Amino acid sequence: MSNRRLVRLAGMAACALGLLIAAGSQTILGGGHWSAPTWVGTAAAQTGPGVGKPVARPKLMGNGERLVEADANGHPKGIKVALPAKFQALLDSYAIPGGDIMPASALCDPFPEFNGIAIDSKAGIAVLSDTNLKSVLIYSLAVPAPPDDSNLTQYLGWVKGPNTFLSFAAGVAVDPVRHEFYTTENDVGDDVAGFPYSANGNFHSRVLAVPHGSYGIALSQRYKQMAVSIQHNAEIIFYRLQAHGAERPLRSIRGPHTGLADPHGVVWDDAHGEIFVSNYGNWNQGYWDADYSGGGKYFPPSIRIFKDDSKGDAAPIRVIQGPKTELNWPTGIAVDPVHNELFVANEAANQILVFARDADGDAVPLRVLGGPRTGIRYPMGVAYDASHDQLWVANFGHTAVVFGRADEGDAPPRRVIRNAPEGTPSAGFGNPMALAYDSKRDQLLVPN
């Protein structure tokens, strides 16, 4: 492995065999072999009101990292984990050249990378999902995190491990009545996992099977339901609160009149009886319908607002869409019902857009928060803290930045929540399932 290669990788990656490489330079900052994440927590810590129960440590299976839930006989639950016997025999006899070859380079991030966020102002917590290490971190809303503090911010809890069922943790919602939080698993794991606020470590979650591609989640105390956006099937699907197992949905909003196309963030505004959905605009019925021959489509991004008792092929009651809106991959969203404002994490533009809660059509944002001083970079989640009148923004990476609600423009954050030391490069990977080699530039191309 030459320096040439290390330099080439530095622009896009976080670590190589544990050697942290400063982005854009040849400086090697550390050393040591990268090791797999270790699970935090013990069975004793896995107790909490209403959700989960202490469990015996599951059996370690062959893959060396993930632990697999076992049935009463000690067999993996419904899962085949053994290699075919004929192939295993070849491995055992070392009949196949190659084998357990150490990588010459490793592009990976040993720290969490934030994604979704939700806040319970009364309980004083912010819950942030992490796609990289497949975890959830819980912070106090009052945590001191001055922007010039380069250290990791102290968290209250860090939930991760196989019993959590967290995989590609995306959307987060909090239930301030039952003191529970929920996360969606956007890829690989098709579930919504529920936890008590007190969860920590490898907590045994309450899990619900959902369609593939879940992203946003929002709760209603009035209906005692949860609404989950499904990217792939372009729908909002509803379950009762605390649903688990293979419970069937209560209803869904789905169909051509909904205008849903790759929906992401969801907010349930109980006070006004409305559901807000951020919509990327990608649409392809052919993904799930082999007989469909209409082809895929790109629609403009939008925020679509539905009556909260909608079901079926219901049309939205309002749609925020158009060039004046500046929407560009609107991802996480939040509503402040007191000041009647809607916050949108405008991911591709590195902005937070603020609209009037009842905005409609090609509306101009009331405020735009974005710029180099804000520290907003690939914002995936946004949440409003009513108790401090502050806005939390979760970047896809190593920081969440906190602002005053009315801050705008290139305003600096009041606080910076760090899940890695300042300056740690972020790989920015989100389930890298494909690769290509650019022979002209000697670069690797990694889509998310």
Partner 1 sequence: MAHGIAYDPLHDVVIGTEPLAGSIVFFRGGSQGNVAPLRVIQGPHTEIHYPFQPAVDVKHNELWVADVVSHGLLVFPLTGNGDIPPLRVIRGNRTQMTGASGVAVDTDHDLVIASGSTHGAPAIFTFDRRASGNVPPKTVISGPTTGIVSGWHVQYYRGKIYAIASNHYLGASYDQGGFEPRPKCDGPLLAFTGPLGFVGVWKETDNGDVPPQAIIMGPASELLHPDGLAIDPGHNELFASDSVRNGVFGYLVPDFFTVAGPAR
Name residues contacting partner 1, limited to 133-172 (CB under 8 A).
133, 162, 165, 167-168
CB of 141 to partner 1, least distance (A): 28
Q: Which of residues 77-96 bind partner 1 (CB under 8 A)?
A: 77-87, 90-91, 95-96
**How many whole angstroms separate alpha carbon 414 and alpha carbon 374?**
9
Q: Which of residues 255-294 bind partner 1 (CB under 8 A)?
A: 262, 280, 282-284, 286-290, 292-294
Burial class (CB in 10 A: 0-12, 13-18, 19+), 444: middle
Kindly tell me which of 56 and 435 has the beta carbon lying closer to partner 1. 435
Binder of partner 1 out of 7, 43, 68, 386 (CB under 8 A)? 68
Kindly tell me which of 119 and 369 has the beta carbon lying closer to partner 1. 369
End-to-end CA distance of the chain: 26
364 is a contact residue toward partner 1 (CB under 8 A): no
Q: Which residues on adjacent β-strands are paired with residue 157?
A: 138
Binder of partner 1 out of 1, 22, 55, 177 (CB under 8 A)? 1
29 is a contact residue toward partner 1 (CB under 8 A): no
- DSSP 8-state secondary structure symbol assigned to residue 252: E
CB of 254 to partner 1, least distance (A): 9
CB of 108 to partner 1, least distance (A): 3
CB of 415 to partner 1, least distance (A): 27
Kind and range of the H or E run holding 86: helix 85-92
Q: Which of residues 409-428 bind partner 1 (CB under 8 A)?
A: 427
Q: Which of residues 95-114 bind partner 1 (CB under 8 A)?
A: 95-109
CB of 419 to partner 1, least distance (A): 14
How is residue 252 written in tokens?
């869904």
Dihedral (CA of 331, 332, 335, 339) sign: negative
Q: Cα angle vertex 425, ends 419, 431, to 5°?
A: 80
59 is a contact residue toward partner 1 (CB under 8 A): no
Length of the chain: 448
Binder of partner 1 out of 207, 333, 344, 417 (CB under 8 A)? 207
**x-or-dash string of contact with partner 1, 306-325, rule CB under 8 A:** --------------------
b (16+ CB within 10 A) / e for 349-366 = bbbbbbbebebeeebebe
How is residue 208 written in tokens?
């619900």
53 is a contact residue toward partner 1 (CB under 8 A): no
Asked if 9 and 105 touch (Cβ cutoff 8 Å), the reply is yes
**How many whole angstroms separate alpha carbon 272 and alpha carbon 343?**
16
